[in-house]
Structure 1
């Protein structure tokens, strides 16, 4: 069997459906909540799940803390976020993979659900995330506003995917949280630009989609007019135009997000003290309010 972690912060809209998608599959479901101020805990308490609250510091630290601190019934775990769903087909493949133990962790691809449909082309499908793994052999570090996994062993990929309802709480919340995300991404962009060259070997001959995508991101940081280039790439090269109205909206939102990052990079270059000022402000006022999801 596999234990399921569900990360939450103010997820009253999604938490019931998320729990419902796993409660009949796993014998061990653990809610890791960052002190939600809405009805998340009240709703989760109606189900036979374990609820643990921990102050949010960063995405990487939250995941590493829960892996090291919260006991689980099973050695193999799956990380689920509240606006995502587990499917019976994916869970069955997770069980089979954990029993084979040919790898210590497995990447799983998301299906982004937006405006009532799966937008496959605009979202660079398949985009993989480390979700299933042996809890003693994987941990996480911070990268920009999100996290990156560190694995002590070989990894592999699952065929089944999970649905991700990226805008389930409304467009206003999506814009609000990506405004915050763009600040961390701008600081990470500055760090990456200072580190040096793009890994062309990984970009052209990377062993996996994850390696190639990360090298492509490093390259994209150095491209002039990045927001326009990203919109063109997603809409025409990836085929977002075939995703209809939802595809156009998604590509435009992503270009807007890139533009926010670019503006904040320039702002930090012009006023370097703002980087520290923003960090202190987040730490003192907003640290425990940061949402748990990257779209």
Structure 2
């Protein structure tokens, strides 16, 4: 039997100090793709060296946020393959997913511009199956040139300019961070700040709102987060969300490790987001709406570019 040829795919990966994960990500991608491009934010560890040693191309650019960085990659990298895939450095594709993409991509009609994949979360070696965390569907593969990134500070999605998407459920891509719990909390503290920037900036009208996603699942998730959760009282909503996720959506079935995950991600993170929103709202109440952007730069070293602002 002749070997199956690789589909024509380029992978784009964003990195900053990912020496713990980048080799795993790249090595497991090569059976699927013909080219890997790493866009690095001037890592101070061995990320760039490892990536180049494993055959990836590396570009470097200062980091603002994931959406800005990835859109820059889409606009800058001369991708000549038929398809493009996005992965984070701490993610990788399962062999079953790779085999499925090998078989399915060449057969898709021209009307299909994007492919939605199923994400599996592994935390401290345990697959998190409950509490709304499996399956999570995300558009991660698209025909080159047919997609863009929502310009949000957090929770950005890949969106298609036109055409349909299909969902692949044979095999998953896996999100498995190998860092310590200290690494995890530092990373999610940064995420909480970005959530605050998006929420407060949009609520006071200084950041332009993105249209709702066209994908049904992504749109419903955005409605729940922004309209239902976002409209509930600060702090109380974090408690209610944890109760919903851990008890009503059976997060307790994920065992002791699952409890840590659901508590930290479903309660601690969202409580931290609320505390940062509260802090920002107090600043605005005391010093006015116009103080938000200077305060953001002074306290968090975050600058929102002029093209993101509502005048």
TM-score class normalised by the smaller sequence: 0.7 to 0.9
Shift of 1:276: 3.1
**How many Å apart are 1:123 and its aligned residue?**
4.6
Retained in 1: the 8 A contact 2:131–2:250? yes
Q: Does 1:129 align with 2:141?
A: no
Aligned residue among 208, 211, 220 for 1:212: 220
Query: In the superposition, relative to structure 1, how do residues 74 and 280 fare at CA in structure 2: closer, same or farther (>3 Å)?
Result: farther
Aligned match for 1:278, one of 296, 302, 310: 296
Q: 1:32 to 1:137 in 2, by over 3 A?
A: same
Q: Does 1:86 align with 2:93?
A: yes
Against the structure 1 CA distance between its residues 136 and 265, is the aligned structure 2 distance closer, same or farther, given a 3 Å change threshold? same
Q: Does the C-alpha gap of structure 1 residues 14 and 23 become closer, same or farther in structure 2, counting only changes over 3 Å?
A: same
| Structure 1 position 252, deviation (Å) | 0.9
Shifted more, 124-133 versus 266-275: the winner is: 266-275
Are residue 45 (structure 1) and residue 45 (structure 2) matched? no
Contact (CA 8 Å) 1:108, 1:129: kept in 2 or not? Answer: yes
Change in CA separation of 1:284 and 1:265 when aligned onto 2, cut-off 3 Å? closer
Counterpart CA distance in 2 for 1:261 and 1:75 is: 39
Match status 1:147 vs 2:156:
yes
Q: How many residues align?
A: 276
Larger Rg: 2
Task: Choose which of 155, 170, 178 in structure 1 pairs with 2:180.
Answer: 170
* Aligned partners of 1:122 and 1:250 also within 8 Å: no
Question: Which residue in 1 is equivalent to 2:308?
Answer: none
Moved more, 144-153 or 68-77: 144-153
- Secondary structure at the counterpart of residue 129 of structure 2: coil
TM-score by length of 2: 0.81
Instruction: Report the equivalent of 1:263.
Output: 275
Matches within 5 A, 1:1-295: 1-99=8-106, 100-101=108-109, 102-153=111-162, 154-159=164-169, 160-166=171-177, 168-191=178-201, 193=203, 208-218=216-226, 219-224=228-233, 225-254=236-265, 255-272=267-284, 273-279=291-297, 282-283=300-301
SS at match of 1:169: coil
Give the match's secondary structure for 2:37. strand
- Greater CA deviation, 76-85 or 102-111? 102-111
Post-superposition CA distance 1:10-64 (Å, at most 9, x none): 0010111111111233221222211111111121222122122222222112111
Query: TM-score of the superposition, structure 1-length normalised?
Result: 0.85
| Deviation sequence 1:235-286 (CA, Å, 0-9, x none) | 011111100012211111021111111111111111123553223555579x
Aligned equivalents of 2:300, 2:146: Cα separation in 1: 31
What's the CA shift for 1:193?
4.7
Q: Distance in 2 between matches of 1:97 and 1:126?
A: 20
**Structure 2, gaps ≥5 residues long:** 1-7, 206-211, 285-290, 306-311
Does the aligned pair in 1 maintain the 2:121–2:133 contact within 8 Å?
no
Distance 1:115 1:45 in 2: 28
**What corresponds to 1:198 in structure 2?**
none
Q: Residue 288 of structure 2 corresponds to which residue in structure 1?
A: none
The separation in 1 between residues aligned to 2:222 and 2:145, in whole angstroms, is 25
Say if 2:66 and 2:153, in contact at 8 Å, map to a contact too.
Answer: no
Which structure exhibits the higher relative contact order, with contacts defined as CA atoms closer than 8 Å and separated by 6 or more residues?
A: 1
SS of the aligned residue for 1:45 comes to: helix
1:253 and 1:38 map into 2 onto residues whose CA distance is: 27
SS in 2 for 1:17: helix
Contact 1:240 1:251 in 2 (8 A): yes
Cα RMSD between the aligned structures?
2.3
